[in-house]
Amino acid sequence: MSIQTLEFRGLPAFRLALPEGDAVVVARHGAQVLSWVSGGDERIYLSPQAMMDGHSAIRGGVPICFPQFNQRGPLPKHGFVRNMPWQLEERDAPAGELALVLHDGDATRAFWPHAFRAELRVALQPRTLRVTLTVDNTGSAPWNFAAALHTYLRVDEIADVRLEGLQGANRWDAVRDDRHVEMAPALRFDGEFDSVYTSPAQGLRLVQPGATLAIKQSASCTETVVWNPGAQLSAKLADMPDDGYRHMLCVEAARIDEPVQLQGGAQWKGWQELTLA
């Protein structure tokens, strides 16, 4: 199974496809997943107004947040690796996988003075996509980081969507700055929604008419972030259509509240798996 090199909306990218019709596209810029087609339909939301200039953050797909989440620290929002050029891993990959890597260098040290290697590995099977972020401390001194796979899932109509599996989880509602235990058996979305949950061990189900997506993540990702900008915020985002909120929901595997302390020579790995039921 070969990996195809292509331009995707003007960006250098790599495409991996299965005989069954499933396919995934990953950009060099940020090692960002831009497309996942399964069951004949696109399952990832990419804004038609996303900045695809090879320098800016891309609205949609699966941005990698590292080594900072959001604005919780001194670095640019969500860190810097999503705006760096990654390289295709040249070593032989198992069938149905591709990997991109980023090493520290002058460009990264302008933001963050640490030695590291990051790898984004995409594994494609019929109806299943697994995205794994591996981080190695290639130096001798320990350092801390936060991380997230900021997955934008495509939905037909957000008003018809429900997200199951978070009942009983601790929730921080960032819109209201409120902490409580989630009581709803299924989340529904009728306005701006921005919450960080403790990750449920049993996984989640994104249910909409005609499609159900099972969502799992590694135990190393101790939080799940759920985000939809709603109508008012969507209208303020220059890189998203006014009605873009209607067609996406972010469900993110994350490690936020307790940053990882990675010793010299140590490795951390976190993943998210999406399966079309």
Token reading at 165 = 């599996």
Token pair 């520290």 is found at 104
Q: CB of 204 within 8 A of CB of 224?
A: yes
Q: Is 114 a catalytic residue?
A: no
Q: Is the dihedral of CA 28, 30, 32, 34 positive or negative?
A: negative
Q: CB of 98 within 8 A of CB of 104?
A: no
Q: How many CB atoms are located within 10 Å of the residue 144 CB?
A: 13
Q: CB of 215 within 8 A of CB of 274?
A: yes
Catalytic member of 150, 182, 247, 273: 150
Rounded CA separation 101/80 (Å): 14
Catalytic member of 97, 223, 252, 273: 252
> Is 204 exposed, middle or buried (CB count within 10 Å of its CB: 0-12, 13-18, 19+)?
buried
The one-letter code for the residue type at 101 is: V
Residues 6+ apart with CB under 8 A from 16: 1, 3, 4, 23, 24, 26, 96, 97, 98, 122, 124
Going by C-alpha positions, the residue among 155, 130, 149 that lies closest to residue 62 is: 149
Q: How far is CA 40 from CA 19, 36, 43, 208, in A?
A: 12, 10, 9, 16
Q: Is 247 a catalytic residue?
A: no
* Terminal-residue alpha carbon distance, the chain: 25
- Active site positions, annotated: 150, 252
